[in-house]
Amino acid sequence: MNFKLTKIQFFLMLFFIETGVIYISFQQGVIDYGGRDAWIMFGVASIFMYLLLFFYEKNYKFFRLGKITKWIYILYWLVVIISFLSYMQYTLNVWIIQNMPPFYSLLAIVLVTLYISLSRPSTTVNLGVLIIPLVFIFIVFILLATHELKFSNILPIGTSTVPQWLKGMHYSLTAFIGIESYLMLRKNVLKDEEIKGKPILIFHLIVSIFMGASVIGVEFYFMLKEIRLIPDPILYILKSQKVTFVKRLDIFFIYIWLAWSLLTINLFLFNIRIALSTQEGKNPKPLLFIIHGIIMIAPLFFIGVGQVEFIRKYLIYLFYPFSIILPMIIILFNRRRDSKCDKSQ
Amino acid sequence: MRQVTIVCLCSVLLLAGCWDERLYKNLSVISVAGFEGHMGELVSYYVYPNSASDPTQFTVIETKGVSPRDTRNKADMKMDQTIDLSELTVLLIAEETAHDDIYPYLDVYYRNPQNPINSKIAITKGSPKDFLSIKEPLPSDVGEFYENFIESMERDTIFPKDLDLQQAGSRLFDEGIDLAIPYLKKDEAHGTPIAAGLALFNQRKFTGTILNTKESLLLNLLAKGKSDTARMTFLYEEDDKKTPLTIDIIRLKKKIKQQGNSKRITINVKIEVNIDEFPSDHLGKEKIEYQLEKFLSKKIQNNMNKMIKKCQDASSDPIGIGRKVRAKGSNIWKEGKWKDTYSTLDIQTNVDVKIIRSGILK
């Protein structure tokens, strides 16, 4: 698959991979498990993620997927997509479409993703531009709740215990699911574009502040005991806002979130497309149809509250092997192999 | 082009109908609801307009059931349309019901996404039914009337500003601050509601203590500050002559201080006021101004201290002193035991009133 990315397109794609589906809900896990200091835990976790990005940038040339690793990653991204679609479907069923059979809403979602997947790469690359204004509208309306924030909710600082810190930081990583896409996309960035140093730092600061502000905002809005009962705090905040032009602000924003999440799903599918395109001489289209068939059917088995809670609790454990350990192994292996080849030459 | 055609054709299937359409003609839109009794023997009241053309004419549906959801299901059985609470503006809870843990009664409102959580909430003296049978002609539908009524009191700083179901729910989970919910009495002659003050809660239960409107105003000033207006009237004595003195608060600054880890809490309050009513006049004179400021500071301080004592006696912390103490990381804050400490605190106010305007007369 032949395509080139500018610096802005590259970072925009990464931004939408990391945000999107999880944006309305990840705060609950971080705060529930982390306690009052959850916002600091998120800050510390984002510093670790910066170091990871730094590592990625230094070694992205060595991240080459072999036959096995390619299918391992495709499987991982499929699991992420199925989990995200299950969660999206559950959220839609709970908040808006209680009676609509999940099959039809999933069909509508998957048809859109199939169309994008079969289109030229530039469709996926530039789709984010359409979503940016919607994200801004989303944020502006969340800011309506500013007068209801209780700033003392985060005080006193330093009350969380060591186990709370470990769990809080662990669940903070949810905000960075998909960060390994950096390694998939980086090679396609135009050669003369400067990524190292300041650009990465600015990008990571934007993501961290964007997600971190939602964590601290939710902490300001809800009591610690209250947040345990609210799985989608951002939607709940929107629901509690009173505006004159619409009765239920949350419905309006669930559709914005849906479009935003669709983009995230497509970017994960784009990773799969890149991985599949490494098979020389083979047309990836039949495989894409099969993959869309899988993501159409599989989420239907995970749309109960128990399964969704399972996904919310355990999906993050896949972050360690697929975003940290496996990339490190692949990079170290290829570095070693390359240096051996150099020596033998 | 072929792909677009396929997608368009498939999309047509989705246009066949909507499973989740909710047509107005099939719904009875409820603007006010109320309940009394206890879980297991609950009585709910739902008010809906008789006709779309004249929303001031309404019918009250009364049902008995084991829980709020059960009573609503039973109300559905009494009507030709389905009850819809998506436009609920006010929820009235009977005083006797509020003595129970009120969260179980409100759970259905928080859990169901179709129920609004920005509805107002109030405690009624006696049955909510009495508050729904208003004899006087209303300017608007009963829901709008109650909403405007409560909001008007909020603007006057008598009811807490922006207290809705969500804000109330939040406080039910916060040990550092308690709820103080608008308390309504009924004008027996006209059947109209009267704002009687605030019902004090200890965590999730009504304590039985009610602050009158004057105390409510002081409480709101200390808890959230002034809303649009905050007026107080006193009788000022000079030379054996009593003169009415009404002030309108322009600005209020407060600071809650705790000395170290001691049980002494001082609330420093600085108030800038406009004189709204003072028939004795001559406010331009420095001596009179000084005397009035001294009088007002002392009077407001005493009233505030009495109001705080009343809250402490009821084990209710609607000012949120607990939040301040917790935020400071003080040793006297102990999770789960704050209320025992709170009742024994020595809380004193220190009020300093400054007259900065005297209206268009001196």
Looking at chain A, which residue has its C-alpha nearest residue B8? A111
Looking at chain B, which residue has its C-alpha nearest residue A225? B173
Mention the CATH class of domain A7-344: mainly alpha
Contact B169 A147 (CB under 8 A): no
Contacts of A96 in chain B (CB under 8 A): 20, 113
Provide the b/e sequence for B61-76 (b: ≥16 CB within 10 Å): bbbebebbbbbbebbb
Contacts of A104 in chain B (CB under 8 A): 14
The domain locations on chain A are 7-344
Contact A156 B329 (CB under 8 A): yes
B272 near A CB under 8 A: no
Q: How far apart, in Å, do the first and last CA atoms of chain A sit?
A: 30
Interface residue of A146, A223, A243 to substitute, partner B, most B CBs within 10 Å: A223
Contacts of A221 in chain B (CB under 8 A): 170
B223 near A CB under 8 A: no
Question: A141: which 2 tokens?
Answer: 């309306």
Interface residue of A148, A240, A254 to substitute, partner B, most B CBs within 10 Å: A240
Mention the CATH class of domain B225-357: alpha beta
* Range in A82-86, A207-211, A335-339, B173-177 the model is least confident about: A335-339
Contact B20 A239 (CB under 8 A): no
Q: How many CB pairs under 8 A join A and B?
A: 72
Which pLDDT value is given to residue B188? 80
Which pLDDT value is given to residue A13? 95
Q: What distance in Å separates the CA atoms of residue B115 and residue A248, rounded to the nearest whole number?
A: 10
- B336 burial type by CB count under 10 A (0-12 exposed, 13-18 middle, 19+ buried): exposed
The domain locations on chain B are 24-211, 225-357
B26 near A CB under 8 A: no
The residue-averaged pLDDT of A102-125 equals 91
Question: B58: which 2 tokens?
Answer: 């309404």
Which pLDDT value is given to residue A279? 64
CA A72 to chain centre: 19
CA-based radius of gyration for chain B: 25
Average pLDDT score over chain A: 91
Which pLDDT value is given to residue A141? 87
B19 near A CB under 8 A: yes
Which pLDDT value is given to residue A8? 93
Could you write out the DSSP letters of every residue in A14-45?
Answer: HHHHHSSGGGGTHHHHHHHHHGGGHHHHHHHH
The beta-carbon neighbor of A223 closest among B10, B116, B170 is B170
Contacts of A107 in chain B (CB under 8 A): 10, 14
Give the list of residues 6+ apart from residue B139 with CB closer than 8 angstroms, or none: B56, B145
pLDDT along chain B (362 residues), means of 10: 74 67 84 93 89 78 93 90 88 95 93 89 93 79 90 94 91 92 89 92 94 95 92 86 90 89 90 88 78 92 95 94 89 82 92 86 72
CB-based contact A266:A127 (threshold 8 Å): yes
Contact A156 B328 (CB under 8 A): yes
Contact A148 B324 (CB under 8 A): no
Question: A46: which 2 tokens?
Answer: 């984002």
Which pLDDT value is given to residue B23? 83
